[in-house]
Structure 1
């Protein structure tokens, strides 16, 4: 075989780093990506400090994890780190620390300590202005007199951990009047949103995951509360039997776990405030659907991934789809770790279980809608025997749907439903088939 002539064509550092700033992060998802690294380092506490100081405003993300050596820190700041990731680690592409940080700031500094016995603290910085000026992949050692790095070193004087510092927040604050009231209010708003987002995507770690210590996250000194989308603390929440599926891709066979929940209707919640809190950032209708977890970290939520459409009558239905990092390729997870694609094979496997969940949620919703919000005069109320017959009819309709699904005759049942709705609308209404 003839030898080929080859050429080493390194990419322009200035152009490529500029392009990577627009990979798809917003402030909250960028902070969450940094917290991923803290979780991977075994941290039990992550403290996020968002400080307004005009053009010198900054963000600190501090953890008490295992930390990094000087060489490990250099490798961590490499675009596309050469280190490999084990099963269950939240990292994947070796880009998150850099792309997440630089999507929000122009100067990224990381200060770390990995020895409890020796106070050896390492610090390195990525400065976009310097990279653009030299057009080289350069990392610098910040001087010990730089205020932010100096503060980080002091915080690490008591033990191991890492401090990530964002400075020159050009994607966060306005170029004009960064010292103004609008800029201060914006940082306050971002702090609130970050706390809500972290409480959602890391809720399992905050509540406690088997095999690792419970995680405490604070934002500007306030402890982040876990947001469990399935309201498992509510007595009226219904949980359907857990299901497991095997998915094969590229010679890898992995397991996917499906957990299904019917959340209580408004009048069944323990407190009205809890009903509002559980509505979530997208509110009840759009918050229904599948919640996809990768190694216990929530990466995508809401909607039914094309299996069925959003429906007011099924807004109480939520289900978790859980997989480990060995199936990353199968789920086509993106660099920001906030979007996945459910494989067609899995959609076909879980469709009957999803339909069963939605039927039960539909029934729970209709029972609530049939319950008067206020007392009805006796002369207008239906007799008890009529109410009992109506409930029995709706239960019969639900039982017929479930039987068709269990008999693997769902498509035939859908045709039967359509005929009943067309030819006998009163019967369809009585059986609760007008979903």
Structure 2
């Protein structure tokens, strides 16, 4: 009863409608801290959630007029669903989501795109529906001061979206005026073109790492400029000398699965495998925890603020952690899905596992990969007492 009275009293108060300025707000949405690889990974999350099996990325070099497109064969959207998807904050992070959903804030498509381009166009069709197209043009929003989501037709955009006419369902995302990527570049500059291609490579390496479990199991195929993206496995699971210490399940209300790995010493693998296993950031930087949310990699090598430093002797230690999307709040998953912080009730367990994995990694490092004799015939090496 008291709560009802509080609500009634609040409703009776005088108030102002303090709607945000459209131009200022949309410019602010560009500053969420995305880089090119993380922004494209956010788009691919949407494609996977839509059931896509194939994703085609195209980078078109044309100096400051360069564009980027992403096409998938997911279920697509109706026109009303597209309008909702294009609305900033289309879903509350407090809403209960499907256990397989990779989204969270209802912001990813917009903030990821705005961080890289000033014009975002999405064309989509679901089974039995016509193609629907909507466009955010930041310059138009700033000029008019209104949230004008532009309606486009296939005639306006035929060269970019014509493939959708041949597909039963799917979605294409187009980035134009990609100022954060190609500002002040010239189409005939070899240096600028080379830098553009290096950015494309950074996207390839990032996607190979973030979605490696989807790629390994054949659930997803990604092409960049018609070349397939090959998965990058941080744990070298197919290498005989890799040690899986023991899977542990922390069963609170929702299960968290932890698999600590110690990778082989350089002397146990060939140079090509060793160089590949170093990852995008190098051996020392890639050590630590790898946090997965619904098999999508969130954290790519970090000791998660647990008090451990990245040092040479521990570079072979990599620990896989799987969490469900129902624990987003506890792990403080951010909008970009690139940061995770372990909840207080898990920190001591994670410290214990990290400490023991680091010790084993240091032993392998110092003994040039010598396998430590096992005390039992078990398939696993139990480095802590199992209870």
| TM-score for both structures, normalised by structure 2 | 0.89
How far did 1:406 drift?
A: 4.5
Contact 1:121 1:153 in 2 (8 A): no
* Equivalence for 1:296: 295
More helix by share: 1
What corresponds to 1:91 in structure 2? 103
Q: Which string of whole-angstrom CA distances, capped at 9 and with x for unpartnered residues, describes residues 253-305 of structure 1?
A: 32211101111111111x21011100111211121110011111001122312
Q: How far did 1:358 drift? A: 1.5
Runs of 4+ in 1 over 4 A off after TM superposition: 402-408
Unmatched 5+ stretches in structure 2? 376-380
Alignment of 1:124-203 (within 5 A): 124-147=134-157, 149-175=158-184, 177=186, 180-203=189-212
Quick check: 1:191–1:220 contact (8 Å CA) kept in 2? no
Q: Does the CA-based 8 Å contact 2:64-2:183 persist in structure 1? A: no
Please state whether the residue corresponding to 1:281 is helix, strand or coil.
coil
1:111–1:153: 8 Å Cα contact kept in structure 2? no
Deviation track 1:366-422 (CA, whole Å, cap 9, x = no partner) reads 111899xxxxxxxxxxxxxxxxxxx99xx99xxxxx9996499xxxxxxxxxxxxxx
Query: In the aligned structure 2, how far is the partner of 1:222 from the partner of 1:404?
Result: 42
Higher relative contact order (CA 8 A, sep 6+): 2
Instruction: Identify which of 42, 45, 56 aligns with 1:36.
Output: 45
> What's the secondary structure of 2:142's corresponding residue?
helix
C-alpha RMSD over aligned residues = 2.4
SS of equivalent to 2:55? strand
Aligned pairs for 1:186-335 within 5 A: 186-208=195-217, 214-247=219-252, 253-269=253-269, 271-307=270-306, 308-335=308-335
CA distance, structure 2, for counterparts of residue 17 and residue 74 of structure 1:
17
- Equivalent residue runs for 1:7-86 within 5 Å: 7-82=16-91, 84=95, 85-86=97-98
The SS at the match of 2:178 is coil
* Aligned CA distance change for structure 1 residues 407 and 164 (closer, same or farther; 3 Å): closer
User: Cα–Cα, structure 1 residues 179 and 132, in superposed 2: closer, same or farther, change >3 Å?
Assistant: farther
Match of 2:378 in 1: none
> Are 2:131 and 1:121 equivalent residues in the alignment?
yes
Q: How far off is 1:45 after superposition?
A: 0.4
Length-normalised TM-score, structure 1: 0.80
- Mark the structure with the bigger radius of gyration: 1
Shift of 1:158: 2.3
1:113, 1:199 → 2: CA distance? Answer: 28
Q: Distance in 1 between matches of 2:331 and 2:370?
A: 41
Does the 8 Å contact 1:50/1:187 carry over to 2? no
TM-aligned CA distance change 1:178 to 1:142, over 3 Å:
farther
Question: Is residue 119–residue 157 contact of structure 1 (8 Å, CA) maintained in 2?
Answer: no
How many residue pairs are counted as aligned between the two chains? 369
Give the match's secondary structure for 1:61: strand
CA offsets, 1:32-81, max 9 Å, x none? Answer: 10000001011000010000123331101010000001000000000000
Q: Distance in 2 between matches of 1:404 and 1:48?
A: 44
Give 1:29 deviation, angstroms. Answer: 0.6
Residue 358 to residue 141, structure 1, CA distance change in 2 (3 Å): same
Q: Secondary structure at the match of 1:361?
A: helix
